[in-house]
């Protein structure tokens, strides 16, 4: 945070920001556990759907932490490319929970399943969800007091959770007391809202796994670095860059050197170019192939 300029330069303010992160994260874990309890007691799809957004927040933080820990102790034998792709895999797998809940809500409409009417469980559900909503509202107001962008982002998350909690609580209570279809309807509304909020993140992680090509500005940056690297590089036979993680790419390049250049010199040019490419913030790994002409076909077969 300090290196990226997100943290305050004032030590006292930075301490308050760290406290805000700590309080928010601990509260999120406790509140998520309470919401899980309320969903088990009520068996309401609306309550379950309202858990998704805070659950994804906690999950995303856990995946980032797990990835960071794995990067501290890399196992080059089992995972030669590292563990960074744990992030997109985790988001896609757990993102499927939302679709599963949508199918479950549709099933309730088909089977016309009525909610369980237990006054004691209903009181527990109302009490827990009311408490959770009030705490999140307090946290939203607390986090809005800071100028830090990350802390203010927490405030937006809490505000969003307050809205979904109110909708889920209203849908669950109305379904018990009036019409059964209100609960799955509320669940669908909350799920669509949550999925729209996380849509960009899911799509980005999906493209990472698919290996989408780098944007033109990244390719142009790489191309410029290659031509500026050494005067012996006559041309680029092939240049490809595709996603490895969200903001880093694999780069594959074929460079054409003079036919009469000696092997030692060619190796040094290629190795130094690889190091230069991998020093770019956008490049996770670079592969440099040295050739003497560019008229032959690409050596790698298509993986489509």
How many alpha carbons lie under 13 Å from residue 181 in its C-beta half-sphere? 5
Tell me, rounded to whole angstroms, the distance of Cα 121 from its chain centroid: 35
User: Max CA-CA distance within the chain?
Assistant: 88
pLDDT at 290 over 80: yes
Among 3.10.290.10, 3.90.110.10, 3.30.70.1350, 3.40.50.300, name the CATH number for the domain at 216-291.
Answer: 3.30.70.1350
Q: Dihedral, CA atoms, 100, 166, 175, 109, nearest 10 degrees?
A: -30
The DSSP symbol for 253 reads E
Mean predicted confidence (pLDDT) in 63-69: 61
pLDDT of 166 strictly over 60 = yes
User: Does pLDDT of 17 surpass 60?
Assistant: yes
Question: Above 80 in pLDDT, residue 295?
Answer: no
pLDDT of residue 4: 47
Strand ranges across the sheet with 283-291 = 235-245, 248-256, 283-291
Check: pTM over 0.85? Answer yes or no. no
The mean predicted confidence, pLDDT, of the chain is 76
CATH of 11-210, one of 1.10.287, 3.30.1370, 1.20.1510, 1.10.10: 1.20.1510
What are the boundaries of each domain within the chain?
11-210, 216-291
The yes-or-no verdict on residue 3 having pLDDT over 60 is: no
Percent of the chain having pLDDT more than 90? 1
Confidence of residue 1 (pLDDT cuts 50, 70, 90): very low
Mean pLDDT value of segment 41-67:
71
pLDDT at 103: 78
More confident residue, 77 or 274: 274
Higher-pLDDT residue of 199 and 75 is 199
Q: What angle do CA 282, 7, 90 make, to 5 degrees?
A: 50
State the Rg of the chain over Cα.
Answer: 26
Q: Look at the block and give the residue holding tokens 């209203």.
A: 170
**Can you read off the two tokens belonging to residue 300?**
């790698």
pLDDT of residue 62: 67
Separation between Cα atoms, residue 14 and residue 157, nearest integer Å: 21
Q: State the Cα–Cα distance between residues 56 and 202, nearest whole angstrom.
A: 11
**Inter-residue contact 81 to 92 (CB < 8 Å):** no
What are 89-126's pLDDT values in tens digits?
666 666 677 677 777 777 777 777 766 676 777 788 88
Helix (H, G, I), strand (E, B) or coil at 245: strand
Given this model, what pLDDT does residue 2 score?
Answer: 47
d(CA 300, CA 206): 24
In percent, the amount of the chain with pLDDT more than 70 equals: 74
Give residue for tokens 């995946």: 63
- For the segment 269-287, the average pLDDT, to the nearest whole number, is 86
Which residue would you say has higher pLDDT here, 40 or 53? 40
Residue tagged 């969800």 (tokens): 129
Partners of 170 in the β-ladder: none
pLDDT of 61 > 70? The answer is no
Highest mean pLDDT among 179-188, 189-198, 207-216: 179-188
In the numeric block, the tokens 């874990």 are attached to: 29
Closest listed residue to residue 245, CA positions, set 279, 212, 280, 290: 212
Task: Please check the confidence at residue 135 and state whether its pLDDT lies above 80.
Answer: yes
Residue 57: pLDDT over 80: no
pLDDT band at 73 (very low <50, low <70, confident <90, very high): low
The CB-side HSE value for 111 (13 A sphere, CA atoms) comes to: 10
pLDDT at 12 over 70: yes
Provide the pLDDT confidence category of residue 65 given band limits of 50, 70 and 90.
low
The pLDDT of residue 266: 86
In the structure encoding, which two tokens stand for residue 191, read together?
């799920």
């Amino acid at each position: 945070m300090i290196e990226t300029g997100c943290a305050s330069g004032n030590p006292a303010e930075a301490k308050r920001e760290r406290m805000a992160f700590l309080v928010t994260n601990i509260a999120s874990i406790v509140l998520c556990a309470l919401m899980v309890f309320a969903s088990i007691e009520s068996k309401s799809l609306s309550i379950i759907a309202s858990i998704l957004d805070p659950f994804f927040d906690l999950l995303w933080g856990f995946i980032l932490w797990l990835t960071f820990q794995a990067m501290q102790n890399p196992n080059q034998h089992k995972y030669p490319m590292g563990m960074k792709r744990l992030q997109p895999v985790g988001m896609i797998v757990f993102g499927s929970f939302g679709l599963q809940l949508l199918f479950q809500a549709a099933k309730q409409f088909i089977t016309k399943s009525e909610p369980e009417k237990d006054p004691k469980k209903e009181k527990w559900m109302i009490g827990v969800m009311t408490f959770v909503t009030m705490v999140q509202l307090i946290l939203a107001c607390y986090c809005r007091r800071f100028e830090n962008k990350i802390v203010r982002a927490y405030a937006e998350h809490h505000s969003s959770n307050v809205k979904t909690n109110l909708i889920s609580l209203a849908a669950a209570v109305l379904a018990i007391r009036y019409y059964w279809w209100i609960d799955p309807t509320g669940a669908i509304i909350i799920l669509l809202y949550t999925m729209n909020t996380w849509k960009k993140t899911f799509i980005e992680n999906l493209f990472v796994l698919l290996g989408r090509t780098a944007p033109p500005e990244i390719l142009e940056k790489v191309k410029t670095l290659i031509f500026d690297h050494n005067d012996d590089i006559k041309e680029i036979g092939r240049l490809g860059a595709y996603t490895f993680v969200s903001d880093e790419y694999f780069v594959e390049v074929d460079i054409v050197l003079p036919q009469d250049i000696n092997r030692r010199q060619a190796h040094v040019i290629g190795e130094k170019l690889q190091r230069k490419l991998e020093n770019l913030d956008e490049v996770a790994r670079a592969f440099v192939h040295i050739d003497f002409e560019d008229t032959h076909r690409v050596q790698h077969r298509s993986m489509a």
